[in-house]
């Protein structure tokens, strides 16, 4: 292995106990999308103590930060190391973002140390609200990545992967409006908003039969009525539609809007669809072959041999960012396929021996791949060409 990469590995190993501390602190203080104030302050402090100037609340997002190496002239090419740190409602760090943040700050701190005065070629960006909030889109829109040539993060998982497809996704609310009446004494006087909602769910179920295999629609009723003896005048639901391309995601969303319109017509109600704020749409991941090959070689060197990805995938705001600049999201396994993503068991796996090792390997893998990118002009050219071609 390249001597500098050996140094990177040593630097991460020396940080290991501190990084376990980061992941444990986040696990013990779970904060959901755009509420990650403790994580924001803790991670900012961690980086400030290790040679970074930290711009808090960057890009106008209260729980985002951008860390640049202190005293280093900004230089290009430049790599952004990303850290997520939002948790899930009720489940805490069931997506393992505590490990993403710990590996991210570990990679940044190790690179800072090894690159010395040349560390102006890296930044670390704390990216909030991956779970349903689309924080990376807000940061990209705010220009946070404008001077960067590549973005890299890791995600813990059930397999070692150089990357994975993600689905495009649109999040929206559906509401129906009717009229209350006594459900026994005057049912004919009412307009039933719950019947409309049930008709919409049934219409979507029928549509699923004609949906392509990568399409998904799933929703929950968030308000179904108030009492059995009142015809409900108001119902609401929260939905996600997903597709492997932006076009198919949008096509499914169009169909679902027509189904809602049909349900309203059939029941005499009115309806309203509102896409989620601040970010409704997640884009599918635009993968980058050369960068994924580079990270795969480093995974191999670390003994985390890349596997073939399972076809079942979700969505992420790294997908949005991947349309702005070449981006990668490799996975390292912290558990087997018997442990589900978004579960308390997955959160527990972040603290297991395997979880700790994956986090340390991830910090090394990211730092080594960033180092490759900064020192191999041909890799940069290939990554840029791949990005332009797709």
Residue 124 CA to residue 115 CA, distance in Å, equals: 14
Q: Which stretch binds Zn ion (CB under 5 A): 14-22, 60-68, 94-102, 170-178?
A: 94-102
For Zn ion, the closer of residues 95 and 365 by Cβ is 95
Contact between 95 and Zn ion by CB under 5 A: the answer reads yes
Closest-CB residue for Zn ion? 95
Residue 82 CA to residue 341 CA, distance in Å, equals: 20
Neighbours of 325 (CB within 10 A): 19
For Zn ion, the closer of residues 81 and 95 by Cβ is 95
Please, is 74 exposed, middle or buried when counting C-beta atoms within 10 Å of its C-beta (0-12, 13-18, 19+)?
Answer: exposed
In the block, which residue shows the tokens 């952004």? Answer: 80
Q: In angstroms, what CA-CA distances link 99 with 134, 172, 306, 308, 334?
A: 19, 30, 19, 22, 10
For Zn ion, the closer of residues 112 and 155 by Cβ is 155
For Zn ion, the closer of residues 95 and 282 by Cβ is 95
Q: Which stretch binds Zn ion (CB under 5 A): 93-101, 195-203, 214-222, 231-239?
A: 93-101
> Token pair for residue 320?
């949005």
Cβ atoms of residues 225 and 178 within 8 Å: no
For Zn ion, the closer of residues 95 and 111 by Cβ is 95
DSSP 132: T
Cβ atoms of residues 47 and 81 within 8 Å: no
> Token pair for residue 145?
């990545």
* Shortest distance (Å) from residue 337 CB to Zn ion: 16
Cβ atoms of residues 23 and 101 within 8 Å: yes
* Shortest distance (Å) from residue 197 CB to Zn ion: 27
Nearest-Å Rg of the Cα atoms of the chain is 23
For Zn ion, the closer of residues 169 and 364 by Cβ is 169
Contact between 80 and Zn ion by CB under 5 A: the answer reads no
Tell me, rounded to whole angstroms, the distance of Cα 185 from its chain centroid. 51
Site for Zn ion in 173-232 (CB under 5 A): none
Site for Zn ion in 280-309 (CB under 5 A): none
* Shortest distance (Å) from residue 165 CB to Zn ion: 15
* Shortest distance (Å) from residue 312 CB to Zn ion: 13
Secondary structure (DSSP) of 173-235: EEEEE-B--BTTT-GGG-B-HHHHHHHHHHHHHHHHTTS-TT-EEEEEEEE--S-TTB--SEE
Q: Which stretch binds Zn ion (CB under 5 A): 25-33, 88-96, 212-220, 367-375?
A: 88-96
* Shortest distance (Å) from residue 149 CB to Zn ion: 24
Cβ atoms of residues 22 and 99 within 8 Å: no
Total residues contacting Zn ion by CB under 5 A comes to 1
For Zn ion, the closer of residues 164 and 180 by Cβ is 164
* First-residue to last-residue Cα distance in the chain: 32
For Zn ion, the closer of residues 95 and 102 by Cβ is 95
* Shortest distance (Å) from residue 99 CB to Zn ion: 10
Q: Which stretch binds Zn ion (CB under 5 A): 92-100, 158-166, 253-261, 380-388?
A: 92-100
For Zn ion, the closer of residues 134 and 190 by Cβ is 134
* Shortest distance (Å) from residue 336 CB to Zn ion: 18
Residue 116 CB-half CA count within 13 A? 3
* Shortest distance (Å) from residue 143 CB to Zn ion: 25
The footprint of Zn ion (CB under 5 A) covers 95
């Amino acid at each position: 292995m390249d001597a500098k990469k050996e140094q990177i590995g040593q630097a991460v190993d020396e940080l290991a106990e501190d990084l376990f501390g980061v992941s444990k602190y986040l696990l013990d203080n779970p904060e959901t999308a755009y509420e990650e104030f403790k994580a924001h302050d803790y991670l900012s402090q961690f980086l400030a103590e290790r040679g970074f100037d930290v711009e808090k609340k960057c890009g106008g997002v209260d729980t985002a930060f951008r860390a640049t190496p202190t005293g280093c002239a900004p230089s290009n090419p430049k790599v952004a190391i990303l850290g997520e740190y939002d948790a899930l409602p009720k489940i805490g760090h069931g997506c393992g973002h505590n490990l993403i943040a710990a590996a991210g700050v570990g990679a940044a701190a190790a690179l800072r140390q090894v690159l010395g005065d040349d560390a102006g070629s890296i930044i670390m960006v704390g990216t909030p609200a991956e779970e349903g909030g689309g924080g990376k889109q807000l940061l990209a829109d705010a220009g946070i990545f404008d001077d960067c040539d590549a973005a890299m993060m890791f995600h813990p998982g059930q397999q070692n992967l150089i990357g994975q497809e993600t689905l495009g996704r649109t999040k929206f609310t559906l509401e129906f409006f009717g009229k209350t009446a006594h459900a026994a004494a005057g049912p004919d006087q009412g307009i039933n908003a719950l019947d409309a909602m049930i008709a919409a769910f049934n219409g979507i179920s029928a549509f699923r039969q004609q949906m392509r295999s990568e399409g998904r629609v799933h929703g929950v009723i968030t308000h179904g009525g108030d009492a059995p003896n009142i015809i409900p005048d108001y119902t609401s639901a929260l939905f996600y539609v997903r597709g492997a391309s932006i076009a198919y995601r949008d096509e499914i969303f169009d169909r679902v809007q027509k189904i809602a319109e049909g349900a309203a017509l059939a029941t005499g109600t009115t309806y309203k669809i509102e896409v989620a704020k601040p970010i409704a749409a997640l884009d599918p991941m635009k993968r980058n072959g050369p960068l994924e090959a580079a990270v795969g070689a480093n995974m191999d060197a670390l003994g985390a041999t890349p596997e073939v990805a399972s076809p079942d995938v979700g969505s992420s705001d790294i997908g949005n960012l991947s349309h702005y600049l070449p981006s990668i999201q490799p996975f390292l396994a912290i558990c087997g396929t018997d442990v589900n993503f978004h579960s308390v068991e997955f959160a527990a796996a972040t603290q297991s021996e395997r979880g700790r090792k994956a986090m340390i390997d991830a910090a090394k893998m990211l730092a080594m791949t960033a180092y490759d990118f900064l020192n191999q002009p041909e890799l940069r050219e290939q990554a840029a060409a791949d990005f332009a071609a797709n």
